Structure 1
Amino acid sequence: MAPKAAAVVAVALLLAASSAVTAVRAMHDYDDALHKSILFFEGQRSGRLPPDQRLRWRQDSAIHDGAAAGVDLTGGYYDAGDNVKFGFPMAFTATLMSWGLIDFERSFGAHEAEARKAVRWATDYLMKATATPDTVYVQVGDAFRDHSCWERPEDMDTPRTVYKVDPAHPGSDVAAETAAALAAGSIVFRDADPAYSQRLLDRAIKVFEFADKHRGPYSSSLHAAVCPCYCDYSGYQDELLWGAAWLHKASRRREYRDYIKRNEVVLGASDAINEFGWDNKHAGINVLISKEVLMGKDEYFQSFRVNADNFICTLLPGISGHPQIQYSPGGLLFKVGNSNMQHVTSLSFLLLAYSKYLSHASARVPCGGGASASPVQLRRVAQRQVDYILGDNPLRMSYMVGYGPRFPKRIHHRASSLPSVSAHPARIGCKAGAAYYASPAPNPNLLVGAVVGGPSNSTDAFPDARAVFQQSEPTTYINAPLLGLLAYFSAHPNPAQWGGD
């Protein structure tokens, strides 16, 4: 058999095998998982909770944030199982929730309004954080003091120190990501609330101007506060391109298109880096901008599509000639490091988004050596990852709290692991929470919809232990890209609905 034909057959057989696994799996209730994944964000809320709050074991918290600095910084989300508000991952969370709504709005169905509320809880806060010109408030809370305590957000007495970037202390990365979040949010609310949408876009433009004019990483300006928790290891250049791409998408202004063209090389757009998350936006930039090429709107951006194609090929099992991402024996996409599910959900979302762009252009992904993959094959890989999260794995457990008969019970999350205020009205002090942290008992409060970090090695093992935070801690940026994935598969659960290869 000729090499080209052999490569095509090999890819087809491997992806067909993945399809066969999908065909025999138990059908998941993606609609229920979507509802719960959105509900998780209510458990992460900071500030005064609204009357329609559904996770009733949470109550008001951090209602004076920013007061010591003379600003209102109430609201927003706690990023994970602690009580600090980190602006960098919060902005990325808002951007990814918005991207899911933008690309798969029709698939959200009855959950569209509640998904928009989840976005707005973040964008309302980001508007407060950027209300002062040439300033972005990027963190509330002393991470080191907070992490030395195990206490409910309703009780916390650790310093609510406010940290900001400004012309004298630049933070192009966090500022540009904030601009991206506001721009993406403006698209989400364009029809639902036009006035709010315009305010978001106007602010995004100003924040991006600040990020670009005063260049520098926030990890240098605020190193002691933001590192090692959310230190920016990839530099700020990718966020500038990411922010410009979202502003171009939201405003359609030529200046942002020209900005990307003018800065493509100097800001590293040509770097085919196969990463995507709160720190590194390269793969996301290439996928997002590639839509322009696939829709026939701007051939100049062809290099972004080449990078996107190469990136996608690294995620597809059995594609030779490309450095392959690792998969566990049970089929989970795996990257070395903590909280592996953040990679699983973010990269799977890019697979799904790119498959949509390819479908609309009647295109395939060329992977060299005559091999290529169809949009349907990309969706199969993405669905396989979602199904693994929901229970199709060697342990037969869901990694989403509250979904399925078996799920993590001892997640690394203060509010979930401590008795609620209604169950235990008396204050639980900083060190008094240690007994609950060390307890082998399941968490008393169900943080419904939370997806934990999951297996952190290639053996599909999971200890369900509160102390192993690398595996048992949920984060907003794990759930954020999952919304779009679950929405799509809730509306199109059967591969037969996806069209032919």
Structure 2
Amino acid sequence: MRSRLIIFSALLPIVPAQVITPPGPIVDSASYTAPATAKYNYVDALHKSFLFYWAQRSGTQPYDRLAWRTSSCQDCKGDYGEDLSGGWYEAANTMKWGGPFGFTVMQLAWNVVEFGDAMKAVGEYEEAVAWIKHGADYLLSVYSTSGGEERLVGVYGVSAAVVNGKTEDVDFGYFGPPEEYTQWAPFKYGRKAFYCVGSASVNKGCTDIAADYAAALAAAAVALRAVDAAFADRCVAMAKTIYNFGTKYQKSYQDPVFSDIGWTNYKEWYPSTGYSDELALASTWLYLATRDQTFLTQSQTYTTQTDITEYSWADKGIAAAILLHRETKNSTLLSRIDGYFKNLLPGGSIPRTPRGLVYLYKWGSLRYAANAAFLALTHAKNVGGSDAGGAARLKTFAMQQINYMLGDCGRSWLGGFGVDSPKLPYHKGSYNSFIDYPMFDIMKRGQDNAAIGTDFLYSRTPNRFVLYGALVGGPNQDDTYVDNREDYVFTEVTQDYNAAFSGALAGLIEHYGPANFGRASDCGLDLGWNHPGAIAGGRSKPVYASGDCYHTCDACSSSASPQVPQQPQQPNQPVNPGQSKPDSTLASSGGPLSINTNGVSSPWTEDKKSSGMGKSLAYNLVGVLALTIGLMMWFAM
């Protein structure tokens, strides 16, 4: 029976994809009217958006808010001893890519700078601040220097590697939980750091990533100054150091000198289009963090040099322009900003879906709209006193975009929120969690990544755990949505998708008035603690303080601030007694040591690109042939 059931998984690819047309009405965006009162519970959406980052969290957990996630990557270090355990995993994988990571930290900090008071009023400020600090902590560890050489970790993780002369998926070929990555990673590859390097004789400066990190740390310092001045000082000092590294050794990681496979993979999936926009944003945030006029001058120079196009991890010129205009009131900058929004508003050059979503790119379409909504709400604050009509149009634009995501099109695009929220997001940990991995008991735990990957991609089984707050990639330009993990252009979730989206939610809370919303909590949410594997091995649910209305159903105590709970447990406690321990010979530097049964390559490769740069599935003919032979054997029995 075991062989028959395993072969049966080969039948999964023939299940047709479900293409969904949202039932909401087709709209005329030009006549869209901003609702006078809040149409959705933006506080609940923000609470869940922050909850998503628990699903992505790397490192030692202060407590396990989600039953299906615990500590991971605790021993992750760079070649020079850097602590690289923290931060977040990028998407469904366990990669830490420099550019998207830096953007996420910067944006989460900017959210608090702009709309922190609204977050305080509804009880979400402490969570927002904690996530900024968690991301900044990771960035405080990425720079090192010795012997006249400076180094910066630009990528951490091995997405693919050359094995026996052939490029094979490693991280992208792993379909289990992050907690067990080093046990079951294909080809026994450990994680590895890939460096930007500068010295008197070497220039591999990766200015784009360095500026991303500097902007993130400087923004974090501004956001955290009021709550932890000492930590903010550390962030400013490291931001200056990394910024100086990036300007001293100016070179893009797109340059051919970045030739190791870790870099070639990164620049294929996340290509750089230049670094003037990153330098513009970094110098602007450094000015805001220090009020040093040198940074203001540099900000003005770099912002003049950069294009103003989309707002994403890849293109940040418009963000620098909006921040700089607030400081200088420069009319030329204002004209460029107005041009950006003119293209987005009804009648502009950027197309819309029939139900009103501004549509820049197919990949991550909601992300671009959410980013633009955040900028619109931010700039509306800047110009509201002198251009009330313009500010109102910007707010209306933001409302339409966020309301589309929460349900105006006839469905929700946010995990665990609203009507018909996504059930099959492309997210490995919420499907194959460490408390019940793998799906079929007949498979040995962690073995045969190809079979487990086939099930993950082609099964129509909903993810076992609700991925609360995850904003999926989004629809086609006609509003249709392909609801399965195979079509991850639509169903993928990532750290940066939620970043500006969270800020836009906070901006709408501020607009409508925090007093018009109640607080949100985990009360009634299914965080996985009823799963039989959740308390295996002596593990227990967190014990929250009485009156903690953030995590529990209790009425708020006088402080009403979330408290770190008690949780007696051993991190990474094995779920079943027979689970093997990690291979002690696994190389943290990422060398291929041995190829065993869990080194079976998957019959596909992930080609992950953002900012309109697509991802594709290229089937391995050998894998397809194997599935065909399996089917023939099945029917011959």
TM-score (norm 2): 0.68
How far has the Cα of 1:437 moved from its partner? Answer: 3.0
Query: Letter of the aligned partner of 2:207 in structure 1?
Result: S
Name the CA distance, whole Å, in 2 between partners of 1:191 and 1:115: 14
What is the aligned counterpart of 1:400 among 388, 405, 414?
Answer: 414
- Listed one character per residue, the Cα deviations across residues 316-341 of structure 1 (whole Å, up to 9, x for unaligned) are 103xxxx5211100000101341112
Correspondence for 1:31: 43
Query: Is the Cα contact below 8 Å between 2:430 and 2:466 reproduced in 1?
Result: yes
Query: Letter of the aligned partner of 2:406 in structure 1?
Result: L
Query: Is the Cα contact below 8 Å between 2:180 and 2:434 reproduced in 1?
Result: no
| Structure 1 residues 36 and 263: CA distance shift in structure 2, 3 A | closer
1:217 corresponds to 2:252: yes
1:327 corresponds to 2:352: yes
1:160 corresponds to 2:178: no
- Listed one character per residue, the Cα deviations across residues 209-260 of structure 1 (whole Å, up to 9, x for unaligned) are 111111011122434141222221x211111111101101111100111223
Query: Letter of the aligned partner of 1:436 in structure 2?
Result: F
Correspondence for 2:507: 488
How far has the Cα of 1:80 moved from its partner? Answer: 1.0
What is the aligned counterpart of 2:387 among 347, 363, 384?
Answer: 363
Correspondence for 1:44: 56
2:313 is paired with a residue whose SS is: coil
Q: CA RMSD in A?
A: 2.2
Once the two structures are superposed, the pairs formed by residues 107-126 of structure 1 within 5 Å of their partners are 107-109=118-120, 110-126=123-139
Once the two structures are superposed, the pairs formed by residues 142-291 of structure 1 within 5 Å of their partners are 142-144=158-160, 145-156=170-181, 157=185, 158-167=189-198, 168=202, 169-220=204-255, 221-222=257-258, 223-232=263-272, 234-265=273-304, 268-269=305-306, 271=307, 273-291=308-326
| Structure 1 residues 417 and 98: CA distance shift in structure 2, 3 A | same
Name the CA distance, whole Å, in 1 between partners of 2:289 and 2:38: 39
How far has the Cα of 1:175 moved from its partner? Answer: 0.3
Query: Letter of the aligned partner of 2:109 in structure 1?
Result: S
Correspondence for 1:345: 370
| Structure 1 residues 235 and 205: CA distance shift in structure 2, 3 A | same
2:195 is paired with a residue whose SS is: strand
Query: Letter of the aligned partner of 2:387 in structure 1?
Result: A
What is the aligned counterpart of 2:65 among 29, 54, 57?
Answer: 54
Query: Is the Cα contact below 8 Å between 1:150 and 1:437 reproduced in 2?
Result: no
Percent of residue pairs identical: 30
Name the CA distance, whole Å, in 1 between partners of 2:141 and 2:363: 31
57-66 vs 473-482, greater mean Cα deviation? 57-66
Name the CA distance, whole Å, in 1 between partners of 2:461 and 2:509: 34
1:205 is paired with a residue whose SS is: helix
How far has the Cα of 1:68 moved from its partner? Answer: 5.1
1:218 is paired with a residue whose SS is: coil
Name the CA distance, whole Å, in 1 between partners of 2:92 and 2:143: 25
| Structure 1 residues 68 and 252: CA distance shift in structure 2, 3 A | closer
Query: Letter of the aligned partner of 2:77 in structure 1?
Result: G
How far has the Cα of 1:188 moved from its partner? Answer: 1.0
Name the CA distance, whole Å, in 2 between partners of 1:69 and 1:198: 24
Query: Letter of the aligned partner of 1:349 in structure 2?
Result: F
Aligned residues: 453
1:280 is paired with a residue whose SS is: coil
66-75 vs 212-221, greater mean Cα deviation? 66-75
Correspondence for 1:102: 113
How far has the Cα of 1:96 moved from its partner? Answer: 0.7
How far has the Cα of 1:197 moved from its partner? Answer: 0.5
Query: Is the Cα contact below 8 Å between 2:279 and 2:302 reproduced in 1?
Result: no
Name the CA distance, whole Å, in 1 between partners of 2:233 and 2:38: 44
How far has the Cα of 1:422 moved from its partner? Answer: 5.5
2:178 is paired with a residue whose SS is: coil
2:485 is paired with a residue whose SS is: coil
Name the CA distance, whole Å, in 2 between partners of 1:400 and 1:201: 34
Query: Letter of the aligned partner of 1:123 in structure 2?
Result: A
Greater Rg by CA:
2
Query: Is the Cα contact below 8 Å between 1:349 and 1:484 reproduced in 2?
Result: yes
What is the aligned counterpart of 1:412 among 421, 426, 443?
Answer: 426
1:428 corresponds to 2:446: yes
Query: Letter of the aligned partner of 2:368 in structure 1?
Result: H
How far has the Cα of 1:491 moved from its partner? Answer: 3.7
Query: Is the Cα contact below 8 Å between 2:374 and 2:503 reproduced in 1?
Result: yes
TM-score (norm 1): 0.86
How far has the Cα of 1:70 moved from its partner? Answer: 2.9
Query: Is the Cα contact below 8 Å between 1:155 and 1:427 reproduced in 2?
Result: no
Query: Letter of the aligned partner of 2:314 in structure 1?
Result: D
Correspondence for 1:388: 404
Query: Letter of the aligned partner of 2:269 in structure 1?
Result: C
How far has the Cα of 1:472 moved from its partner? Answer: 0.2
Query: Is the Cα contact below 8 Å between 1:108 and 1:488 reproduced in 2?
Result: no
1:336 corresponds to 2:347: no
428-437 vs 200-209, greater mean Cα deviation? 428-437
| Structure 1 residues 345 and 264: CA distance shift in structure 2, 3 A | closer
Name the CA distance, whole Å, in 2 between partners of 1:346 and 1:485: 8
Query: Letter of the aligned partner of 1:472 in structure 2?
Result: T
* Structure with greater contact order relative to length (CA < 8 Å, sep ≥ 6): 2
Correspondence for 2:164: none
| Structure 1 residues 176 and 212: CA distance shift in structure 2, 3 A | same
Correspondence for 1:298: none
| Structure 1 residues 421 and 68: CA distance shift in structure 2, 3 A | farther
What is the aligned counterpart of 1:64 among 60, 63, 75?
Answer: 75
| Structure 1 residues 190 and 33: CA distance shift in structure 2, 3 A | same
1:471 is paired with a residue whose SS is: helix
1:381 is paired with a residue whose SS is: helix
1:174 is paired with a residue whose SS is: helix
How far has the Cα of 1:40 moved from its partner? Answer: 0.6
Query: Letter of the aligned partner of 1:312 in structure 2?
Result: F
Query: Is the Cα contact below 8 Å between 1:418 and 1:433 reproduced in 2?
Result: no
Query: Letter of the aligned partner of 1:329 in structure 2?
Result: P
Correspondence for 1:302: 331
252-261 vs 64-73, greater mean Cα deviation? 64-73
Query: Is the Cα contact below 8 Å between 1:38 and 1:449 reproduced in 2?
Result: yes
Query: Letter of the aligned partner of 2:311 in structure 1?
Result: F
2:512 is paired with a residue whose SS is: coil
Name the CA distance, whole Å, in 2 between partners of 1:122 and 1:423: 28
2:180 is paired with a residue whose SS is: coil
66-75 vs 332-341, greater mean Cα deviation? 66-75
Query: Letter of the aligned partner of 1:36 in structure 2?
Result: K
Name the CA distance, whole Å, in 1 between partners of 2:58 and 2:269: 19
Correspondence for 2:167: none
Query: Is the Cα contact below 8 Å between 1:408 and 1:464 reproduced in 2?
Result: yes
Query: Letter of the aligned partner of 1:31 in structure 2?
Result: V
- The runs of 5 or more residues in structure 2 that have no matched partner are 1-27, 161-169, 517-637
